Amino acid sequence: MARWGRLRPLGLGGSDTTPRPGAAVRAAVGRLRRGWLPVVEATLAATVAWVLATRLVGHPQPFFAPAAALIVLGQARGQRLRRAVEVVLGVAAGVLVADLVVQALGPHASWTVFTVILLTVALAVAVGASSVTVVQAAVSALYLVVVAPPTETLVPFRFVDALIGGGVAIVASLLIDARRPLAPLVAEFRHTFEELAGVLDEIATALDRTDAEAALAALERARHADAGVERLRGAVQAAGEALWLHVRRRQHLGRLRSVESSIRQIDYAVRNVRVLARAAVTLTRGPAPVPPELGAAVRTLAGAVRSAGDALAADLTGQDEIADRHAERADVAALEAVRAAGRLFTPGQTLPLAMIIGQVRATAIDLLRGVGADDDASVLTRVDTAVAGPPD
């Protein structure tokens, strides 16, 4: 079955609350608890780079070994394998240029600073480096000229240090996910779909109660969904990097490419839900009554979203039978949501109600395209049939 990418959880929340004593400390502790792995990763990688440069190369002050490791680890996961090489070579080249220029012109001279910056930036631009890498390379070279003591040998210790630090960082970032390279991506998929389903549940509750404030809270939460899609793209790239060195799991690369190609469909679903939430705000604030069946239809759609997320997560881990069962549940629930909403599409309904019905249909189409093997024409036919009346 052709399966798609998932929606990542939106790190959204409701309105800000009044700060309480100790809230900042608790928030800091919570962030540290969730982000302890990058702290350990950066500390160990920088330390190992220092030890290797000291013991293997014999450089007494290998500043650029841990510095390059930290620069590479500063790149987002999913970009490290591609951009880390660029960063390492850019920083290393800057260091090498600075070393050679210092040998020729001496340190702390204006012409030395001018020449080093000119050559380093020109070299980085010539090889197509990103703006971030250009700056990193230039700063590394400038540090060598202005701060670091000059060397009395032409041996490019600092160039080697930068390569060691960058190499250690790349290996460290890949080893973190070596045992379970797809686990972070699977968790991200589950979180994303659960978050989107949570938005739909909030909308359904607001419709049930004709609660405009609850609808506004759901809309605010939905507005953060785009950031979730971007996080999902990053998670897919990070999983691809992890699989690249995991020989026994490279068969999953095909599944990963399938997921990556479906992220656009997820983006559509996120936008549809946001429009649905906006229409719910208008409907709950207006004088027209909210049909009691509308909330149930939206809640059924939330169930379809959860099943779609479970299907994709199972598909990524090779659990095909489980994935098929979840996909079937998503299929049934999506069509039932369309059918229930379609029964409310009667002459004289308000524009916000019509918009909600339309977005339920559009979101269901996105789900069916993601978890089903049918082509677009078949999906549209099935959805239109569900809108028109009860199942055969």
In a 13 Å sphere around the CA of 267, the CA atoms on its Cβ side amount to 13
- Specify burial of residue 209 (Cβ count, 10 A radius: 0-12, 13-18, 19+): middle
State the pLDDT at residue 152.
Answer: 55
Q: How far is CA 155 from CA 59, 97, 204, 288, 312, in A?
A: 10, 12, 69, 81, 53
Other C-beta atoms closer than 10 Å to the C-beta of 193 total 29
Dump pLDDT digits (tens) for 15-69: 444 445 577 787 788 778 766 877 888 899 999 999 998 988 787 778 878 988 8
pLDDT grade, residue 228 (50/70/90)? confident
Q: d(Cα 174, Cα 72) in Å, to the nearest integer?
A: 12
DSSP assigned state of 53: I
Given a cut of 50, is residue 10 above it in pLDDT?
A: no
Sign of CA dihedral 95, 97, 103, 105: negative
237 CB-near residues (< 8 Å, 6+ apart): 77, 78, 79
Q: d(Cα 317, Cα 323) in Å, to the nearest integer?
A: 9
DSSP assigned state of 77: T
pLDDT grade, residue 264 (50/70/90)? confident
Highest averaged pLDDT of the listed ranges 238-247, 282-291, 379-388? 282-291
- Specify burial of residue 36 (Cβ count, 10 A radius: 0-12, 13-18, 19+): exposed
DSSP code per residue over 285-307: HSSSPPPHHHHHHHHHHHHHHHH
Q: ∠ CA 18-227-285 to the nearest 5 degrees?
A: 60
Helix%, strand%, coil% for the chain, nearest 5: 75, 0, 25
Q: Which amino acid is at 213?
A: E
Dump pLDDT digits (tens) for 150-190: 555 545 677 788 788 888 887 887 776 666 677 777 888 88
Exposure b/e, 106-121, CB count within 10 A at least 16 = b: ebeeeebbebbbebbb
State the pLDDT at residue 226.
Answer: 74
The model carries a pTM of 0.66
pLDDT grade, residue 227 (50/70/90)? confident
199 CB-near residues (< 8 Å, 6+ apart): 10, 218, 221, 222, 225, 273, 277
Dump pLDDT digits (tens) for 308-359: 888 888 887 778 888 889 888 999 999 999 999 988 888 878 889 999 999 9
Given a cut of 70, is residue 80 above it in pLDDT?
A: no
Cβ atoms 304, 367 nearer than 8 A: yes
Dump pLDDT digits (tens) for 96-149: 788 788 878 877 778 888 988 898 888 878 877 777 678 777 877 887 787 765
Cβ atoms 98, 145 nearer than 8 A: yes
Domain ranges within the chain, ordered by starting residue: 37-175, 183-388
- In whole numbers, what is the pLDDT of the chain averaged over residues? 79
Q: What is the CATH number of domain 183-388?
A: 1.20.58
Cβ atoms 215, 280 nearer than 8 A: yes
